[in-house]
Amino acid sequence: MNTVVNAARGWIGTPYIHQTSVKGAGCDCLGLLRGVWREVIGPEPEAVPAYTRDWSEPEGDERLWRAGLTHLVPKALGDATPGDVLLFRMREGAVAKHIGLQGEIGAQASFIHAYTGHGVIESAFSAPWARRVVARFAFPLGD
């Protein structure tokens, strides 16, 4: 089984709490990614500054995308593998700032994410979600 997927699934049920990353206690979507990184790779590559719910929007700054390009391995959108990091643009014209981790691929495709009002859940990777993906990355695990 995929180590990234196993780690992410271990966070399922963690409540959604903005700007946190504590398994079982609370996290947001970035906090989930940070927690999985710590479990699979080790210490986080950089400190995450405090951020508001609307961060990056006034400037139109693609901060998460840049961070993904810095710390993760970019992949083609169609090159789906369990454990991939997915970056979503939730509204047309908005910055991309929702993150999920690919759980399953194929007919039962799913992704794991921390979602406001739901906490960490595994959702079907349905067409509406797939349309929102703007970038796909792999963890830098080496071989």
pLDDT in tens, 2-55: 999 999 999 999 999 999 999 999 999 999 999 999 999 999 998 887 776 666
Q: How far is CA 49 from CA 16, 91, 92, in A?
A: 19, 24, 26
* CATH number of the domain residue 51 falls in: 3.90.1720.10
Is residue 56 assigned to a domain? Answer: yes
CA dihedral (69, 123, 77, 130) in degrees, to 10, reads -120
Lookup result for tokens 């951020």:
51
Task: Name the residue among 61, 105, 63, 103 with its Cα closest to residue 85.
Answer: 103
Counted domains in the chain: 1
Within a domain: 87: yes
User: What range does the domain containing 105 cover?
Assistant: 3-138
* C-alpha span between 50 and 71 (Å, rounded): 19
Query: Per-residue pLDDT tens for 50-71?
Result: 776 666 666 767 888 989 999 9
Structural domain contains residue 143: no
Tokens describing residue 115: 């979602």
pTM across the whole model: 0.93
